[in-house]
Amino acid sequence: MAQEYKLILKHADAPGYTPDIECYLRHGGYATLRKALALTPKNLADGKTLSAPEQIREEVKVSGLRGRGGAGFSCGLKWSFVDRKSGKPIYLICNADESEPGTFKDRQIMHKDPHQLVEGMILSCFANDVHLAYIYIRGEMVEGAKILNQALKEARAKGFLGKNISGSGYDLEMHVHRGAGAYICGEETGLIESLEGKRPYPRIKPPYFPAVLGLWMCPTIVNNVETLCNVKHIVEMGGAAFAQLGTPNNTGTRIVSLSGHVQRPGYYEIEIGKATIGELIHDPKFGGGLRPGRTLKAVIPGGSSAKVFKAGEKFKLKKKDAEGKEILVETDMLDLPYDFDSLAAAGSMSGSSAIIVMDDSTDIVEALANISEFYAHESCGQCTPCREGSLWMSKTLHRLTHGEGRAGDADYLVKIADNIPGGRTICAFGEACSWPVQSFVAKFKDEFVAKGAADEARRAQQAAAPAGQKPLAAAHH
């Protein structure tokens, strides 16, 4: 039976647990940091020695930790790309922009257990020879920024930040930087531009990989809040022990944000891959099922950018049989294990681990129109396909949801969407805005066509009606 497994959220909602440093220290906080700072160089069998930072990087590699921000990229690998020979300073930025629609997990950590993030960040900075780090938090989280500033102040007062941390000789400063309401600041290179005090226009890669040419053209690590918290636990328990959590290649836990038409929306931390989408929606420990009398219509499994699943959809997933032979197993959408690889195999993604549930009361065309309006508003406007395409899709969906649709709009939408992604844009927003359109229309095409056709029929009827008897057009705005 699927269970919650609270690693990151172990204390967050415990009665009496408060965000101040005294409480964190009472619960063993900063002990891992002290231990890490005191690590001595380790001699390997092949005659090489690993410095303390190198040992931590090695543990992170062994842990199999994958980024929790969206792409699920290996954290150890990302850190290994950092240019350590340039002679330039290395920076670390915590991505606390949390703006992928459906996602509300980083908020819980920052509000309820901010020192866990700070400790994870200090460890990550120590591991990567970073001496200046930033937390880039979305502008609307005013309270979150206050809490983090307070946490930094407390950590500084206790000597966990600043010069010569806990007598180790290691120096680190850390600051909170607030965004101002733009989704594109979550994209790591847009975030870097924003932090530099410019418009958050994402940078083209290559050459601007943050690990080489990041903040102020220096090597920079950008990691999500939850990813950095995990580093603390990896150092504490060891990479190998961490890798025992979850499932192979999908190690550790994830905090799933569950919203929409379920009885118990909320955030649930699970071992990755140890609960299915169906369990997350229906199990009384998680979503608790749909509202009475409702049936499931669609599920967005990884934030609004992820391709939608239709209720009843089946996928062929690779599995190993008893003899270890690879076989294809037909799997219902609800039986997909909630992990990086299964969702990718099913053509979508776990993205920011945000599940949005829609029951049969949902007008699917309206739902897509809502999502597309978001992307039309948030495109930064640098690339023509994205700037024009996102707006064009949104306008087409607007007319479809306001009685002005055409039967051909379904195909028209897909045509636009197909021409945005695939290397035509600077950043992955191009993909993010087309995936919902492509998948919604492909999987619910009848509804899009029917809506447009009904509008056409009504207009034809109005045009044919004798003068003076024209029925009033439906009220549109």
Binding site for ligand SF4 (CB under 6 A): 184, 202, 379-383, 386-387, 425-427, 429-430
Interface with other proteins includes 358 (CB under 8 A)? Answer: yes
Lookup: tokens for 476: 């549109």
Based on CB atoms, which residue is closest to ligand FMN, 353 or 439? 353
Interface with other proteins includes 401 (CB under 8 A)? Answer: no
How far from the centroid of its chain's Cα atoms is residue 394's Cα? 23
Helices (H) and strands (E) in the chain, counts: 17, 15
Interface with other proteins includes 304 (CB under 8 A)? Answer: yes
Which residue, chain included where needed, has tokens 């990041």?
A: 214
The C-alpha atoms of residue 365 and residue 391 are separated, in whole angstroms, by 16
Q: Residue 139 Cβ, how far from other proteins at the closest point, in Å?
A: 5
Q: Residue 225 Cβ, how far from ligand FMN at the closest point, in Å?
A: 7
Options 57, 78, 232, 261; binder of other proteins; rule CB under 8 A: 261
Which residue, chain included where needed, has tokens 């290996």?
A: 74
Q: What share of the chain is helix, strand, coil (3-state, %, to 5)?
A: 40, 15, 40
Task: Give the x/- contact pattern for other proteins in 264-303, rule: CB under 8 A.
Answer: -xxx--------------------------------x---
Interface with other proteins includes 309 (CB under 8 A)? Answer: no
| Residue among 350, 82, 53 at smallest CA distance from 231 | 53
The C-alpha atoms of residue 170 and residue 131 are separated, in whole angstroms, by 8
Amino acid at 67: G
Q: Residue 435 Cβ, how far from ligand SF4 at the closest point, in Å?
A: 13
Based on CB atoms, which residue is closest to ligand FMN, 117 or 410? 117
Based on CB atoms, which residue is closest to other proteins, 97 or 271? 97
216 is in the binding site of which of ligand FMN, other proteins, ligand SF4, none (Cβ under 5 to 8 A by kind)? other proteins
Q: Residue 175 Cβ, how far from other proteins at the closest point, in Å?
A: 4
Amino acid at 104: F
337 burial via Cβ count (<10 Å: 0-12, 13-18, 19+): buried
CB atoms inside a 10 Å sphere around CB 253: 23
Q: What is the dihedral of CA 100, 10, 141, 256, to 10 degrees?
A: 20
Residues in Cβ contact with 435 at an 8 Å cutoff, skipping those fewer than 6 apart = 305, 306, 307, 421
State the DSSP code for 333: G
In the region spanning residues 80 to 99, those forming contacts with other proteins, defined by CB under 8 A, are: 98-99
The C-alpha atoms of residue 324 and residue 31 are separated, in whole angstroms, by 43
430 is in the binding site of which of other proteins, ligand SF4, ligand FMN, none (Cβ under 5 to 8 A by kind)? ligand SF4
- Is the peptide bond prior to 207 cis by the omega test (within 30 degrees of 0)? yes
Q: Residue 100 Cβ, how far from other proteins at the closest point, in Å?
A: 8
Based on CB atoms, which residue is closest to other proteins, 219 or 260? 260
Based on CB atoms, which residue is closest to ligand SF4, 184 or 437? 184
Binding span for other proteins by CB under 8 A among 259-267, 275-283, 309-317, 321-329: 259-267
Binding span for other proteins by CB under 8 A among 34-42, 50-58, 174-182, 412-420: 174-182
State the DSSP code for 472: P
Options 116, 250, 257, 394; binder of other proteins; rule CB under 8 A: 257
Interface with other proteins includes 194 (CB under 8 A)? Answer: yes
159 is in the binding site of which of ligand FMN, other proteins, ligand SF4, none (Cβ under 5 to 8 A by kind)? none
Q: Residue 379 Cβ, how far from other proteins at the closest point, in Å?
A: 12
Based on CB atoms, which residue is closest to ligand FMN, 220 or 223? 223
The C-alpha atoms of residue 329 and residue 314 are separated, in whole angstroms, by 10
Helices (H), 379-444: 384-400, 409-418, 429-443
Q: Residue 210 Cβ, how far from ligand SF4 at the closest point, in Å?
A: 15
Q: Which residues bind ligand FMN (CB under 6 A)?
A: 67-71, 73, 95, 97-100, 184, 186-188, 222-224, 227, 427-429, 432
What is the chain's alpha carbon radius of gyration, rounded to the nearest angstrom?
Answer: 24
Q: What is the dihedral of CA 22, 134, 183, 13, to 10 degrees?
A: -10
Residue 124 vs residues 97, 229, 282, 303, 446: alpha-carbon distances, Å: 19, 9, 37, 27, 50
Interface with other proteins includes 373 (CB under 8 A)? Answer: yes
Q: Residue 77 Cβ, how far from other proteins at the closest point, in Å?
A: 28
Name the site residues for other proteins (rule: CB under 8 A).
Answer: 98-104, 106-107, 132, 138-143, 175, 177-183, 194-200, 216, 257-261, 265-267, 300, 304, 354, 356, 358, 362, 366-367, 370-371, 373-374, 377-378, 477
